[in-house]
Amino acid sequence: MTKMKLLAATSLGSLFITAVEAFGPAKRACRPILLSSSATLPQRQSYSAYTPRGRNEGRTRLQSSYLDNLSGTSSSYSSTSSPSSPSSSSPSATTTITKLNLEIADALANGVIATALRNNFAPVVVTVVDKSANALVQKRMDGDVHAAFPEFSYAKAYTCVTMNVSSREFRDKYATKENDPAKMAQVTSMMAITGKMAAFPGGVLLRNDEGTPIGAIGVSGAAGDEDEYMALTSVWESGLALRTQPAEHSCATALDG
C-alpha cells in the first residue's frame, strides 16, 4: 500500500513538472512584451465629467468662457463710455425714439442728480420707467434719504405711464375736485387698488417726437415742484428728441430756472 502511494505521488509530481515545463516558456515569452515594451501609455489629461474634480474643472472652463464672452468686443456697451451721457450710438435730437433703453434711462437719471446738486436741492431718488412701467433705472443720492422715497419715486413714474398724464395733472384731474365726490371716490379707488399711484407732483411723462408715450421719470425727496423741475430739466438738457408732460415747470426755488 505504501509503495502504491509513493508511485502515485511520483506520477503526480512528474505531471506537475511536465506542466510547468510546458507552460513556463509561454509565460516567460509573454513577460518581455508587457514589461519591456517601448510604447508608453498616454497620460490622463482631463478628468471624467462624472467625478467631482471633473465637474469642477468643467464648470471652471465654462465660467471662463462666459466671462471671456462678456469682456469681448461683441458687447453692446463700451467700457470707455461715460454713464452720465449717451454714447455716439445713442439717438440724437433728430432720431425718433421708439422705446427707452438702459443707456438713455441712465443718462436721464444722472441729469436729475446733476440738477439737484446744481440747485442745492435736498437729496432725491429718481426712477425711470418704460412705457409698461418697468423700472429701468433707480438711483438714490447720498445723504439723508427716507426709505419711502424710492417707493414715492416709482409711484409717480407709474402714475404717468398708467394714466398718460403727469402726476401733477393726475392730482389736478381727480384729487382737487372737492365738490365732486365721484372724482374723489374714483381716485381713492384707483390708488387703493394699484397701491402704486401718486397724486402729487414729481412724475413727468415722456413722449417721443411723434407724441407717443415711451416712459416716465419719477423724482422724490425735495418739494414737489422741485422734484418735477429736476425731471423736466434732465430731459430738456439731454438733447434727445423727447417731449415732456407737463411742458413747463412750476418751480420758484430753482437757482438756474
Residue 175's pLDDT is 78
**Residue 241: pLDDT over 90:** yes
Strand locations in 109-178 (E):
125-130, 135-140
pLDDT single digits (tens) 121-148: 999 999 999 999 999 999 999 999 999 9
Cell of 148: 419711502
What is the 8-class DSSP label of residue 119?
Answer: T
Quick: pLDDT tens for 44-88.
444 343 344 444 454 444 444 434 443 333 333 333 333 344 444
The β-bridge partners of 153 are none
Give the residue-averaged pLDDT of 170-187: 83
Does the pLDDT value for residue 170 go beyond 90?
yes
Q: Who's near 190: CB < 8 A, 6+ residues apart? A: 174, 197
* Closest of 109, 141, 82 to residue 215, by C-alpha: 109
Q: Does residue 18 carry a pLDDT above 90? A: no
